[in-house]
Amino acid sequence: MLYLFLKAALSGVIVAAASEVARRNAGLGGLIASLPLVSVLGMIWLWRDTRETARLAAHAEATFWYVLPSLPMFLLIPLLLRRGVPFWAALGAGCALTMVLYVLMTWLGPKAGLKV
Residues whose CB falls within 8 Å of the CB of residue 37, separated by 6 or more in sequence, listed in order? 14
Q: In whole angstroms, what is the distance from residue 24 CA to residue 100 CA?
A: 33
Neighbouring C-alpha atoms within 13 Å toward the C-beta of 6: 5
Report pTM. 0.76
Share of the chain above pLDDT 90, in %: 57
Q: In whole angstroms, what is the distance from residue 91 CA to residue 49 CA?
A: 34
Q: What is the pLDDT of residues 5-32, one digit of tens each?
A: 888 888 888 888 888 999 999 888 888 8
More confident residue, 116 or 84: 84
